[in-house]
Structure 1
């Protein structure tokens, strides 16, 4: 068997393995709060000072969103205002003005992909460029059959960024047009 055949066989094995994981709109103990439309997505990040706030950055400005209600509580409309040259930090607005927010988006950056309780968000892309995002409880892993029982599939889409809040009580997923928010019950 040549290398190409091995890669194709492994890809098919992974697709079959991932097909065993059930879809759910929310993990047990979590509630989907809502969805916000985004035009020209650059990134999003959770505040550290007020852990229920998320900063959404787009080419049409910044929005501050309350993760308990998915409501925009502040907004500006200046293109790229507050974004640093790397595109992974942005200055907050409103209640978090002056706070430097680490944002995740197509330029990189990063947010926690796990909580102190052992929950993880895992991205798998056997059908790239489309991605599937899995929420796994402690010791869950979508790519290991015996650890799949603690996993659910949340979404299959062209995912741009995802992550938990710094306190671990919220998580969000963004594609180029929407941001979805979940809250621990």
Structure 2
């Protein structure tokens, strides 16, 4: 049966060999290509405003003694930086690019000069507060360890020949050994 069907079908036409030609492209693309540039001034000001809000939340949480909220606000600041990274790169590239119109480049440079120093000062201030807080916590911890009278460690009781009993405290700062005889 398969033989009958192959005999009834005409053979496919043989391809005609021709010389290879370069593909022709239309002079103008069907859909125009659009290059989007970010508005550098708007991007920088919006980013600094968002970062200021998160920084204010973090500072308020630290002042009010809410470490969890301060940590969440700091995480928001990092997330904000990560999500705005590409837009910030584009905006800052416009301040250096010779392909951007001089008026746009000047406006972007003026915006960067206006907002970036205040942002850097704010971040240095937060870093200084963190250093002060960390030093204070370390000092409190050292004072508490020095004033602690209860030994913190593992107690072990050993008894050996001669019926001597001893309780030994394994500790980092002190090494007291108490010996008991029966």
More strand by share: 1
TM-score range, shorter chain: under 0.3
Structure number with the bigger relative contact order (C-alpha 8 A, sep ≥ 6) is: 1
- TM-score normalised according to structure 2 size: 0.24
